[in-house]
Structures are given as C-alpha cells and as structure tokens.
Amino acid sequence: MSTARYIRIHENDNVVTVANDGGLPAGTLLDNGITLKEAVPQGHKIALVDLSPGEEVRRYNVVIGHANTFIAQGAWVNEHRLDMPAAPELHALPVATNLTHLEPLQGYTFEGFRNPDGSVGTRNLLAISTSVQCVSGVVAHAVKRIREELLPKYPNVDDVISLEHVYGCGVAIQAPDAVIPIRTLRNIARNPNFGGRTLLVSLGCEKLQADVFFPDRFIPIKNGGFQRQDDHIALVTLQDDTNIGFDGMIRAIMEAAEEQLLVLNRRVRTTCPLSDLIVGVQCGGSDAFSGVTANPVVGFASDLLVRAGARVMFSEVTEVRDGIAQLTARAADAEVARQLIEQMDWYDRYLGRGSADRSANTSPGNKRGGLSNIVEKAMGSIVKSGSSPIRGVVPPGERCTTTGLNFAATPASDFVCGTLQLAAGMTLHVFTTGRGTPYGLKEVPVVKVATRSDLARRWHDLMDLNAGRVVDGEASIEELGWELFHYMIDVASGRKQTCAEKLKLHNSLALFNPAPIT
C-alpha cells in the first residue's frame, strides 16, 4: 500500500490527522515510530502519546477536548473518547492585540456592472421580490414566460430570477426580532447584481405590506394600494381589481418586468477596482481537512482581496464562538471588539431560548469527517478569514459598508448564511466543503473549494478548485490562494462561470427569523 501520510498542525499538538484516502489499517507503522493500535479513517486523529482520562487533547495548539477514557499511543481519538471544553467567557478578552499589517496590493481590477448608487454587480439580473409565499406559484410561471418571451429581446441581461421565501404572513410582524427577516428581504432586493431596479409582487392582504417592505419607497394611498416614489421600483398586487384571472396577473407582471428590463439591458461591464467587489466566504459539510487545506487557501485569498481593497465577509457565529479571543484580538479597535462580543452574546441567548448551545453545531457528516466537536471545527473554520484585522461587524440582515475584513453575524446553516450574506451585499460567494455539497445560488456566482482530492475527483464537475493538492504535496497554500484569487476575478468579470452556474444549481433563500410565527 502507499506510504502512511498524516498531518500535524502545531508542534504542541498531541494528535495527528490521517491524510491517506480510505484511512490507515491497524498495525500501520508511521515514520515517527508509532504503530496504529486500530484502523483510523481518513481525516481522523491518532494519539501521539498515551492519554489518561481528563488529559488535554491539543490540535491547532488549542485544547479541543479532554480524554474521557484511557487512549493509548497510536489509538483513534474520536468524538466518543473526548469531552468538550466549556465555551469561553465573553469578558476579559484581548482587544486589538494581534493586528497584522498587510501591504496594499495594487493593479488588480475586474469587469463589473456599475450601478447608479456606486455599487458594482458581478451579474446583470432582473430580480422579482415577493412579499409573501402565496404569490410564489404565479411568480414562477411569470419568470418562465419572461425568460422565454422577453429575455431574448434584452441580451445584456443575464437572467430573471424570483426571490421567494416563506415569510410575509402568519408571522408576528411587530415582534422585536421581526426586524431581521424584514430588513434581510429589503436589503437582498438592493443587492448590486440587480442594478438598483426592483419589481415587487404582492398578494395584497398579507402582513408584509409594500410600505413595510420598503418604507422609503412606497406610501399608502387613500383608496388602498401604494404610490411608488420613483420608477426604479415597480409593484404588482395580485388582488388588484384590474387583474382578471391568472392571465391578467401574468400580463401585469410581464409588463412591469419589461419596464425594468429596458433599463437593465443598458448595463455594461466596465473596469472597476477590486474595492468594488464584495466577497462572502463560508463552509459547509466540513471535515478535518477543511482547516488544513481549503480554509487556509481561502484565508490566503481573502488577505489578497483585503490588500487590494475589497470587502470580505466571514460569518457563522457558532463556528467562531470558541475562537472569540482570536477575533477580539484581531478587532481593529475596541468598538469592533464590542460589536463582536454583542453578536456572540445575542446568539448565546438565542440558542439558550431553544435549550441548545453551540454544541448543536457539528453534523454526523462532520464527525465522520474527523471533526470531534465544535471546538475543533471552529479552529478550522476561522482560518477562512485570513490574518487581516477585522474592521467591521454586520448584524444579521444589515448591509456591509466597511472596506476590508468584516464579520457578518449569521447562523452557520449554509442557506441561512448565504441568504444573509446576499442581504449584506455579497456579489461573489466562496464556499469550502469536505464532505461535498452541490450548493449554489441564483443571485450570485458560488465558487466551491474541495478540501480533499478524493472529493474533487469524484465531483469533478461540481468543485471549482481542489485544495486537496496541499496535502498531496502538489501545491502550496500560497499557490492555490493566488489561483483562487485569479479565478474569483475571472468569475466576477463574467469571463468564467462557476460549476454551480453552468449546471444551474440553485438553493432557495432561507430567511433567519428568530421571531414567532402565528
């Protein structure tokens, strides 16, 4: 069989991770003189020393747990043999003590669609917002008709999409936390890829009325209905007396769509500095390689983007909660640190209301991939953020307005995180995966990075970049980071399509609604 390969991340670690595809059998002799006591799967940990119950297990030079049984040198260290440490406290944290200065990177541009408000899109899309799920079936029909009958007349428009969701009615719309789903929907409609044009389809009787959706753009009028404030926004209300039958509704939506398509068709790509690019990074279906290959590659590319002036967001509160001290140390100033702690504290209480804690994160697939618990997962997850100072914190559903690295506070759920990053203004999404996911969004291109060569080979047409080459010794993190950086610029410029775009793999929006449903 091939040589036994393993990864030791830090010299103080007392475990190593198996790198070989298919794992290693019992009796394998490692080049450090240790013989495996039992078979250990790929991505899983081997004890380098005898570990007594209660002893610390270290990976990333961090205590990821304590042995809850005797673990012999050469034995398998898995989630059943580890107890998780308590969550770190949210006080007495280091503030702005680890600020890395990165040299600015000059000379990189991309070809984007500049909008009237100064923002820049990577795609030219007509997006149809919806104020309630009731209209989704009608809107889906209208989108099909628009795509077939109208879009060929407007060749500069890439596509027409519907922004459907399950919010809008049957919800406690006055509850304090309802502000999150409502501002999320409003800000998604403002995503730079939609050219500053909005078409809203409403039913008419729902709680999320047009003037609640867009308070500054619609005012209620006497006989019911709403007056729009400018022609950048259009409203079709299915219950309007003027709509006769299904055909009438479709015709009304198509007419309103054409009004917007006429304008969107005039958008052209122009050369823009990278400071106009807004990138969201996240991971899903993580394994023990995420923190060794794909996430460090994304972290390196993230630093390149930040050095070039771009806005980069990392997210997923439960996946960084255990590394809060690293984050506050990288906060640009005390105010950013305070906002980070505020978001963590809010999320602790949100989870507590549901009798859960951060350990609810880590899926069966994460564990099969070698991640014993959320502490180990978090240490690998944070690496995606690179080494830049954190300059901004974006609450859920808010827009990202700060140049440089931002923490956008979102759940780790892939779809909810992606939806909130869309609201924040993301125009390009980078997604790392170890177990594999076909995840994609219709609103922005999604670049997927595989943590392992085995996954990249099997899913050859679903993965954009194979970071497993780091473990195979074929490329360094720096080389792959640059490769990803250039690929992102090509995708943002429309010169390349991502795998998910080519296959038209689109996940639904999934709103974060911490408020009650009625």
What residue is closest to Ca ion based on CB?
284
Residue closer to Ca ion by CB (options 337, 412) is 412
Q: Which residues pair with 234 in a beta bridge?
A: 199
Asked whether 459 and 141 are in contact (CB, 8 A), the reply is: no
Residue closer to Ca ion by CB (options 276, 287) is 287
Residue closer to Ca ion by CB (options 261, 430) is 430
Which residues neighbour 75 within 8 Å (Cβ) at sequence distance 6 or greater? 37, 38, 46, 47
CA-based end-to-end distance of the chain: 60
For the CB of residue 294, give the shortest distance to Ca ion in the complex, in Å.
Answer: 13
3-state secondary structure of 160: strand
Residue closer to Ca ion by CB (options 131, 282) is 282
For the CB of residue 396, give the shortest distance to Ca ion in the complex, in Å.
Answer: 14
For the CB of residue 216, give the shortest distance to Ca ion in the complex, in Å.
Answer: 32
Residue closer to Ca ion by CB (options 412, 509) is 412
Which residues neighbour 419 within 8 Å (Cβ) at sequence distance 6 or greater? 184, 188, 509, 510, 511, 512
Asked whether 72 and 37 are in contact (CB, 8 A), the reply is: yes
For the CB of residue 130, give the shortest distance to Ca ion in the complex, in Å.
Answer: 25
For the CB of residue 448, give the shortest distance to Ca ion in the complex, in Å.
Answer: 12
Instruction: Enter the tokens of residue 199.
Output: 């078409």
For the CB of residue 284, give the shortest distance to Ca ion in the complex, in Å.
Answer: 4
Residue closer to Ca ion by CB (options 284, 445) is 284
Q: What is the largest CA-CA distance in the chain?
A: 84
Taking the C-alpha atoms of residue 291 and residue 365, their distance in angstroms, rounded to an integer, is 15
For the CB of residue 283, give the shortest distance to Ca ion in the complex, in Å.
Answer: 6
Taking the C-alpha atoms of residue 313 and residue 429, their distance in angstroms, rounded to an integer, is 10
- Footprint of Ca ion (CB under 5 A): 282, 284, 412, 414
Helix axes 414-423, 179-189, angle to 10 degrees: 60
Residue closer to Ca ion by CB (options 415, 482) is 415
Taking the C-alpha atoms of residue 124 and residue 143, their distance in angstroms, rounded to an integer, is 16
